[in-house]
A and B are shown apart, each in its own frame.
Chain A
């Protein structure tokens, strides 16, 4: 049989198209954890193109922000990143306080800092644990979840709620923390390094884990900056930027000596894992320093500022408290805000969480725009995925820590 000439190149390109296979990954899939849909174009096992499809929750956060007052909206902010809700609350009320122009009390600053760092630890624990679970390491996930439970216990004792505490208020907190909570935090500080060391021992030199994460989903430093990445994703690519150091807020200026910025170089999944592990230890140091230097004094700004909701004893037993309570809750009174706009940003577990608030003088935001980190990181996903195998999808998704509620408005 004579050897036939090779087919012309243009014909091959057309024929290739027929062998490409489209796979819908998600919205409900054990490895996506939340409602994420990925439309993958496959050539065998290799991903030619990945298209993320978002907008499944339709939660209407921003429209609700224009309809609820500054204290009410905290319940919605909680649900944006349900993995570390306290950090979102702290960021939201930080922005509102910046808008109104009030300085919170030192004790409030420290308590908010501790809670934000606890939220970071719990977020990173879930991220690392779930990523390990998707790659087949169940034990690390169980260890991480057990430690998370302790963080939830602390939040439950402070706010009375485990998942959506709604703990912050304009100018302060719902309530002061008790000595029991301080003991719980001290206990957590004592036990956490062992959990951390256990996870490190299980994963850091694990052959399977390294093979499945090293060199996967590489993001260069230039690309990380150009695509607006922030937080651990950017730092794993070598961007030395952390809002806690660059634009210190809360008590981070006073605690700046107790922590460092953790950075990586490779920009792959393994580096993102290492950065998260390193950051947990730094957060642990911040919590340790903050809880040992916790200032005494009030947690809310002065009652005379007419900004914070008075606590129940003041509402029920003093006329000033009662009047102030009415002033804040009657729909036609509430606050006066400057007719201005302000952007406040916090370094949350996933990166820069910013709120752009436009006020029109009333007690509600005229526009409450959120800059969610996951939304921006998910846009980078197709770039990271091309040329990889389908089994790398969970590794990259896990390392980016995409939260579906943050993808929506």
Chain B
């Protein structure tokens, strides 16, 4: 840590010339992270081909999603982290306006209002997805200027920044995303040094609020999910069906799996959403415990690299943002793999970079772009 302080004081140019200009440095790519992501994405496409019942068009479309998202990643990686810091409030309030607009005029998809049609252009945007980046950026922006660990006043300030958008999203209703966003904001606070007493206090608060949520906030279908989670066999036709079938798929995979494209659960239509939220069950059925262990290890390596990048961040804003982004990524992994295997309730969180779907891929790759920007612009700051 001290050494980095010294680096910052070195005369300009020296750090810059200390390394040869490779393709990676020109593109502002973090090679280890990029390699790990590439393995995950390519492996994911194989599983997707099986999970989507050998639909080449789904795989191709997902490939396009990745291409677009990678481009965004490379673009974001080029920006100096200070740019994100300057933009943070603008991005945040733009997203907040979007959320309010969604509740006011949003178009209806699957009974919930999540999308906003931009008139004239014909493009639909999902402000809640946008907020997955905007909220941690805003909280990091807010705290990075203050003395850390944050004072009581600033903790309250940060909590307001977190819970206003989270509440708006929960109202859409999209509890899964609201939880992810609240988590991303809370991670910034935790990395900023939120006191142990606060952490315990919040946990107690959540525990106390849970019954109130149950009676006043949660929709019937959400309650049903929790009840089903507690006892899937009680409701075998509804949400319990998904859990029972996905557990059967996972369990029947055994140690070595049934082999690629050989999964009977998914191919006989027993497994619902086999190419989106429940794709890990396809992987577990066809590649067995080995497959699960591989992908989980891969995720851990990505997260490890992300934490390393965060720890080496040049300034407080970068560190807080990077730490939050990578921990949110872990929450995705944990919640998805937990819900599919029946240790968490079903909340509609995709398996990052493997589940089919363009929006989450875009958000996740954007966050990796920010991580790469934080890592690759370190030395140049000193110029």
Q: Are A and B a genuine interacting pair, yes or no?
A: no
